[in-house]
A and B are shown apart, each in its own frame.
Chain A
Amino acid sequence: MKIAVCVKQVPAKDAPLHIAPDGTWIRETDISFEMNEPDSYALEEALRLKEKHGGEVVAISLGPERAKQTLKEALAKGADRAIHIADEEFYRLDPLAAAQALARALEPERCDLVLTGLQSDDHGFGQTGVLLAELLGLPHATIIMSIEVQDGSLRLKRELEAGWFQWIELPLPALLTIQSGINKVRYATLKGIMAAKKKEIRTIPRTELLPSLAPTQKLERIYVPEKTKKTEFLQGPPKEVAAKLLEKLKHEARVLGSS
């Protein structure tokens, strides 16, 4: 089975973020980056499927030069080779453009399975995976909690709301977006890190895959959430006030179920 995993490099969780002067992205000096956490679960799942069913794992990332570090980590953990779509201005891409670039790089690979994390920890659009499936002409399923491969098809467990799950079947090839916590992510080993140095990272400039951009959405501004605090006094007899309070807790604060 040939499996591609899309991994994105995002700012580390502990990084204190400052907004860049143009207001549409963060300032990248003096912060560190790491593999997007949901993608690390997708990578782990790909490695486990390979160990069970044989085949190859190809890690792919779209990002600036530094994104190679994340690909190296994937290779150190056991991916066989990597593709780096190089784009220093990656943050200007909307999910469709990112998916288009990824699709063009993955088309010739003819993978049996493409895995992505459910969403990224930075932009958090949650769209790149499903758009990529559409562009590759693959069926897809999202929020995957378990994967079983049986005779050329997949049996999948999806997470729904409120502790509900759904089991579905999907033919191969397919694309799945993986939910965090599906597995326990492995550690890179010393031997794996040394072996990774000899593995291939093929770099393709994004402009080669996608020469021009026709953005379908635009990031106007990112900002730190403004603190708002509102105090409201409910007046009237206790019984009425209690009823009003209940209403508000249900429909405004939404801390109580409305059923």
Chain B
Amino acid sequence: MIMVPLVNHHRENNKRHLSERKNSRALQICLGIESTAHTFGVSVVSHKEGKKLGSILSDVKNVYKAPPGSGIHPREASHHHAQVATEVLQQALQVARINIKEVNAIAYSEGPGLGPCLRVGAVVARALSSRYQKPLIPVHHGVAHIELGAMLTGLSDPVVLLVSGGHTMINAHSGGRWRIFGETLDLTIGQLVDQFGREAGHSSPCGQRIERLAQDSHEYISLPYSVKGNDVSFSGLLTAAKNLLHDGRSLSDLCYSMQETAFDMLAEVTERALAFTEKQEVLLVGGVAANNRLKEILSQMCLARKAKFASVPIGYSGDCGAQIAWTGLVGALSGASVPIERSKVHPSWRLDRVNIPWRN
């Protein structure tokens, strides 16, 4: 990895723009591109030196929709991304009222995710970086969920529950990395919900629908509850729920019971991490952070432990450009960038392999 002194970077390009603003010499602007799975998103964020918070100037996305009953087809999703890329990029710049030349860095999601989808984002990012001579910042998608959530909620040193289609992990920062305290041994919570939803004939993402169906029931059907140490396993739960569905049990009873079982498991391992690390804050991030019942369970758990609970705001819980732009920006400020010819994508990339220099 090559270190780039970003603070002095491209002052030339920024002269016109920066002279228009008072005291804005140390203003940094980063454009981030998200394309790990179903979402193609572009966002522009800015940060003023000495401030903890960043500003999201724009966050535009276009989401690939899978046909009912099926999941994301990587090739189809990547075609979708390629088709909408230009429009999403233009809109993100327009909404932010920023000229691409004023941007200090271009960030993209390097992984983990679907290879064909990741490559679309990487190609767009490389093109912009090369054409406008901007440093290129690769970002880990999961770390980006955490960092955006931490910035938006103002939590400083939380235990993090990262729940999405790609991740289900409990993380805590220690020794320069986001450590994995516990995780799923098989399916993610997003996969559990989506695969059950598809079995019932819906199309991914099914989270909202499952949550609504669950609200109609308070009839608990016993389902496998599997916590192993700090890890969870959802495969037995999915099989049992599917079998009960085919046996003709009520869909809303099953949605309710599946949510309760899975979320109680997540709350338990989060509570274990909280007790073990003796930290005082819990942060919920990732697409499944949009679920109100999960938020309710976690906030009750935190209340009983006198810990502070916060969830990423609903508009930023799902995959979005803002997570990449913000993390790219803090990464850039601590000097991380990659030359274009060495930039790649990593469909498989573990979260605790990423160095987090800005939190030391």
Q: Do A and B come from one complex?
A: no
Residues of chain A at the chain B interface (Cβ within 8 Å): none
Give B residues with C-beta under 8 Å from A: none
